[in-house]
A and B are shown apart, each in its own frame.
Chain A
Amino acid sequence: MGYDNMNKKTIALIMSVIVLWQLIALLMNMKTLPSPVSVAGRTVELIYPKPLLLLHVAESTKRLIIGYLIALVLGLSVGIISGLEGNLKKIINPLMGFMISIPTIAWVPLLLILVGLGDKTIILAIFLGGFFPIAYNMQRGMEIVNLDLIRAAKIMGLKDIKCILHVYIPASMPSVITGARLGIGYSWRALVGAEMLAATEHGIGFMIYASRAFQDVPAMFLGLIVIGVLSYVTDKILITSVENKTIKKWGMVTQHG
């Protein structure tokens, strides 16, 4: 089955959902359920003459990228080290298990007191959301590397430290990708929640929350749609592209269908 064919079907599905939504909105004639047309109208207003929506999107994207990159760098490092060092793993895993079970949004009130309103709190929340799945998956990835891959390198004379770079890390790419993908999802969630509580001016979460005061339901819907689209696009750009260039190309994942 062709990829194009698949895309056409997806587009057809989205179109039918929009048409159905429009019909329901017309029939019900409710203030609380805006029609696609009114959401589209509101979108235009938020872009022209003042590109407010774009400012929200740009601000959220900037925060996401900063917070997520920190989560990625620290998460992968902690995962690599603890995956190789059993004693460290024994110490940090109970802590990780504890932290991973706390919804990131629950940190935000505390961060507001410790750090205050604004970008720092939001970025910290994004980091907390992304860090744990990334670190945990990297650690697992290191642990399940086929030991013979390491042995094959050692008999050719590769030293321990270089083994990490040349064998352990590429061999655990499937886990890196899984962690990175989960991590970016959690980072997005954390971002939207944190922006509702901690943003002062811009951000998609801020836009949704601020719209409440004006009963601006179309803007809320728009916010939901933008979040969905952005997280889909970031996954495609940051994760799927890397996945295609690495583990898919290397045959490290079985491709069904």
Chain B
Amino acid sequence: MDELKIEIKNLTKSFMGGEGEVKAIENLNLSIKENEFTVLVGPSGCGKSTLLYMLAGFEKPTSGSILLDNQIIKGPGPDRGFVFQDFVLYPWKTVVRNISFGLEIQGFSQKEAIEKAKQKINLLGLQGFENAYPHTLSGGMKQRVGIARALAYNPKVLLMDEPFGSLDAQTRKLMQEELLRIWNKEKKTVVFVTHSVIEAVFLADRVVVLTDRPSRVKGIIDIHLDRPRDYEHTYTDERYIELREKVLNILKDEVIHHKQHYESV
């Protein structure tokens, strides 16, 4: 558990845009332990997705480095899984083929891949939807497929970019509980991005608060709440409420004018 998994050192990322250089991230340092559930919160547009994209290997740092298992991340690879806010499923593949795709890429035969994918179908409660096409599913079901797809080939690290951001409040709470149940079963190092403090504190081992652009680490709050957690109990836990206040207070200076936004589920 205390094994160091990800090490971000002096990370800087800037984009060249129409109005010159935009510094999204500047001198960011962060270490993440194996099987830890880390949640990144920060103002909208501060660089959370950019950071996650660099962890995924989709984008390259401008300077500094990211180590995964002591190796510099050179590009995307199947030691990681990625869950997108707007699902990004393959519309031309059925649910089961979306999930088995990663296994087929790893070299499993189609039959084996589908067999293995079925386990994730069960884990995510997608039974009965195996042969449905994504456009026929609700948002919540789509993201279940998105998570199953990312888990199917058994990556060690799960990167999630506001995965529940486009779901309604009810579905969102349900999915948060589901995610914790799954994470408890399949231990993974999770890096989860959100702008909801309620969500962050509910899920995390550690909440990392980022500053406004250019983003650096503003504070790290350990969330020593009992697991397993569920809304019924955790929600009314005084420590949970205190921790939420604590995170909000650190965020507040960054986003005074947007407080309500960050208090939504």
Contact = CB atoms under 8 A, between A and B. Distances in A.
A210 to B, nearest CB: 47
Given A151-B82, A155-B82, A157-B78, A173 B101 contact: no
A152 interface: yes
A155 B80 contact: yes
Contacts of B106: 156-157
A249 B131 CA distance: 12
B91 A155 contact: no
Contacts of A249: 133
A155 B76 contact: yes
A167 interface: yes
A3 interface: no
Contacts of B78: 155-157
Given A250-B91, A251-B136, A158 B80 contact: no
A173 B93 CA distance: 13
Chain B interface residue bracket vs A:
20 to 34
Contact of B91 (A162, A166, A251): A251
A152 B81 CA distance: 8
A240 B47 CA distance: 44
Nearest to A149: B88
A236 interface: no
A155 B57 contact: yes
Chain B interface secondary structure, helix, strand, loop or mixed?
A: loop
B135 interface: yes
A146 interface: yes
Contacts of A162: 105
Interface string A142-158: 00001011011111111
A153 B58 CA distance: 11
Contacts of B105: 153, 156-158, 162
A118 interface: no
A158 B77 CA distance: 9
B183 interface: no
Nearest to A170: B92
B68 to A, nearest CB: 12
B246 to A, nearest CB: 34
A246 interface: yes
A252 interface: yes
B129 interface: no
B163 interface: no
Contact of A151 (B56, B91, B134): B56
Nearest to B153: A156
B82 A167 contact: no
Contacts of B75: 154
Interface string B35-66: 00000000000000000000011100000000
A197 to B, nearest CB: 43
Interface in B105-158: 105-106, 133-136, 149, 153
A222 to B, nearest CB: 42
B56 A155 contact: yes
A91 to B, nearest CB: 25
A188 to B, nearest CB: 29
Nearest to B101: A156
Contacts of B86: 148
A250 B88 contact: no
Interface in B72-108: 75-78, 80-82, 84, 86, 88, 90-92, 101-102, 105-106
A154 B102 CA distance: 10
Give 8 nearest A-B pairs by CB, closest first: A251-B135, A156-B102, A155-B76, A157-B78, A154-B76, A148-B88, A170-B92, A250-B91
Interface of B: 56-58, 75-78, 80-82, 84, 86, 88, 90-92, 101-102, 105-106, 133-136, 149, 153
11 contacts: A148-B86, A149-B88, A151-B56, A154-B76, A155-B57, A155-B76, A155-B80, A156-B153, A157-B78, A162-B105, A251-B136
Given A149-B90, A166-B101, A250-B92, 9 more contacts: A151-B82, A155-B82, A156-B102, A156-B105, A156-B153, A157-B153, A167-B90, A171-B90, A250-B91
